[in-house]
Amino acid sequence: MTRAVASTVVAFIVVLSANVAGPQWFDELVRWLQPAPRAAPPHPTARSGPIGAPVTVTPMRPEGNDSSVSPVPLPLILVRTHRGRNSREGFAEIGVRARSPQTYTAGALLANGARLTEIYDHYVVLERGGRSARLYVQGEAQPDGKRARELLTVGGTPEPAAAVADSRDALTDYLRPSPVFTGRKLHGYALYAGRKAEPFSQLGLEPGDVLTRINGTPVSEASDSLVTLHTLMEGEALTVEVERQGIPQTLSLDGSILAQAPAMAREATAKTTNSQATL
């Protein structure tokens, strides 16, 4: 009974709407019966927060000393090479600690009396007393055998030949470069005073200055940057850019300071000797 009444009412409404509202009544009815659209929630405003402090390069303090020696025997470590025009030219970074190698030029005499005679991409050749041995870059297998170990070890009782001065390593008496990397890329060279520290400060340098450019050329792009740096010993003047505590600075290095340093040292020694003799 109820269903019949409801059907009658609906039919009545349909007929009435058709007569009153016109032919568009059905579209209006459908639109009225549809649920109202929900308003989309507002999106929160994007915020750009801090992304952290800028990345800085902190030079590593050397752990070794200027001659890369040790009171006890330790194996030498070849950190990397800088090839020259041929195997008899260039530089090699060798030491007893990988974090603090000494930069040796081809032909230099190491503290164990072995001479650096040849430089290649992955190894160098050391010679002493008519014997030779290859020292490979760290991470690669090193030669075995007693004779090779004698040439590739430093420390303990020094060899007499180690006391022979080698003028081709004279720069490291005053200025010692230590490589600084950003990832795997060379960023520059941290500069430290050698065992004769006075000329280092006379050049206007401070320990830990990171050398990044020489005469406008980035050291990371010039394989001969260390060669250029050694021209200071010949009296050449260089314009360099260094990072001092993260702040770039441009300095003019007067090579005459280093070129005259050996003569001034001899003069000072002579004066001291004369004064002591007078007393």
User: One digit per residue, pLDDT tens: the chain, 279 residues?
Assistant: 555 555 565 555 555 555 555 556 566 666 666 666 665 555 555 444 445 555 444 444 444 444 566 678 888 999 889 888 888 888 888 888 888 788 888 888 887 888 899 999 999 999 988 889 999 999 888 888 877 888 888 876 544 444 444 444 678 888 888 888 887 788 888 898 888 888 899 999 999 999 999 999 898 776 678 888 888 888 889 999 999 998 999 999 998 888 888 777 666 666 655 555 555
Angle at 253 between CA 251 and CA 257, to 5 degrees: 150
Q: Which helix (H) or strand (E) holds 33?
A: helix 25-33
Burial 117-149, CB ≥16 within 10 A → b, else e? bbbeeebbbbebeeebbbbebeeeebeeeeebe
CB-count exposure of residue 105 (10 Å: 0-12, 13-18, 19+): buried
Amino acid at 180: V
Q: What is the CATH T-level fold of the domain 62-164, as seen in this structure? A: SH3 type barrels. (2.30.30)
Amino acid at 245: Q
d(CA 74, CA 156): 8
Q: Give the phi and the psi of residue 248 in degrees, each rounded to 5.
A: -65, 140
Structure tokens at 11: 């039919």
- Domain-wise residue ranges, the chain: 62-164, 165-271
The region, left, alpha or beta by phi > 0 then psi within -120 to 50, assigned to residue 111 is alpha
Report the pLDDT value the prediction gives residue 123, as an integer from 0 to 100: 94
The reply to whether 165-271 shares the fold of 62-164 is: no
Class of domain 165-271: mainly beta
- What beta strand segments (E) does the chain contain? 74-75, 77-83, 90-95, 102-105, 115-119, 123-128, 131-136, 153-154, 175-182, 185-193, 209-214, 217-218, 237-244, 247-254
d(CA 62, CA 68): 10
